[in-house]
Amino acid sequence: MKKYLGFLACLTFCQQAASQPVSVWEVDGFKMPESVVYDRERQVYYVSNVNGGVMEQDGNGSIGLIREQDKKTTVDWIKGLSSPKGLDLDGNKLYVADVGELVVIDVEKSRITARYEAPESKVLNGLAIAPNGEVYVSDWIGNKIYKLADHELKLWLESSDLESPNGLYVDGGYLYVGAWGKNPGNDFSTQSSGKLKRISLKDKKIENLNQGKPWMNLDGLHRYENQQWLATDFMKGELLKFDHQGELLNTYKLGSTAADFYLVKEKKLIVVPYLMSNKVVAYQLP
């Protein structure tokens, strides 16, 4: 009987361990990395380096890269930014949310080609590109969403119901939002739990897909298989999986300050920047 119970305990433990993401590679030496995006054509990962205060326009920030084949890095590939966060790629254009402006980098020429200012914003953070090429940027502290269209960055939506919008993703006529929670403090803690939200691109109606239970502070956000969602909880250092209605399905342990990750869908690989650990870690999903 004892052997049988021991076997069951071992089986349960092994099943739980197998259901967790497994680290497959790790690269360190970055400068407060906040976001990662994968360039399939060039086989590189771009990494934003905050390198200072998240709200500071100090010129210390940069974009780094990791080569897929050998994991060699160039930490300061593009300089001249302040506190870069969210990234997204469209062709040879890398878009960067950098405090009070949206920056565009030509990845073929390795240089900044455009800057679009948002002088009324507080902390531009998350970024997503729609199929029609429109670029959406979240103002994390300012409770705003900006849109770049026709070479102008304009305020698209402002509402306290956004509850500190962070990660963004455009899908099926909606802008999905990973909300951090109301009124982040200096230690990033909030007065309310964050939520998974969606905004109609047609009429800008904001919907809560869940009620923020258990407590969460959402950062990166990606659509997953079977209409599911993956998001990082920065404060808890967790990866969360939601169903299409926003109900929490699974929680996976990552590490403290896991920020705006990238999902390589065809490989079931998530690439996670750790803001305060100066590293980027790739995990195989269960």
For the chain, domains (ranges, CATH) are 2-284 (2.120.10.30)
Residue 55 has a pLDDT of 79
95-112: average pLDDT: 97
User: Is the pLDDT score of 1 beyond 80?
Assistant: no
- Cis peptide leading into 214, omega within 30 of 0? yes
Residue 219 has a pLDDT of 97
User: Is the pLDDT score of 106 beyond 70?
Assistant: yes
Segment 210-253, tens digit of pLDDT: 988 899 999 999 999 888 999 999 999 999 999 999 999 999 99
**Bridge partners of residue 35, in order along the sequence:** 48, 260
The answer to whether the beta carbons of residues 64 and 30 sit under 8 Å apart is: yes
C-alpha span between 146 and 158 (Å, rounded): 9
Q: Higher-confidence residue: 55 or 216?
A: 216
Segment 168-208, tens digit of pLDDT: 999 999 999 999 999 999 899 999 999 999 999 999 999 99
118-140: average pLDDT: 95
Residue 166 has a pLDDT of 98
3-19: average pLDDT: 43
Full-model pTM: 0.92
C-alpha span between 258 and 271 (Å, rounded): 10
116-126: average pLDDT: 95
Residue 2 has a pLDDT of 41
Residue 18: which H helix or E strand, with range?
helix 2-18
3-state SS record for 93-108: EEEEEEECEEEEEECC
The whole-chain average pLDDT of the chain stands at: 92
DSSP classification of residue 11: H
Share of the chain above pLDDT 70, in %: 94
52-62: average pLDDT: 88
Residue 57 has a pLDDT of 83
Confidence of residue 14 (pLDDT cuts 50, 70, 90): very low
Residue 149 has a pLDDT of 85
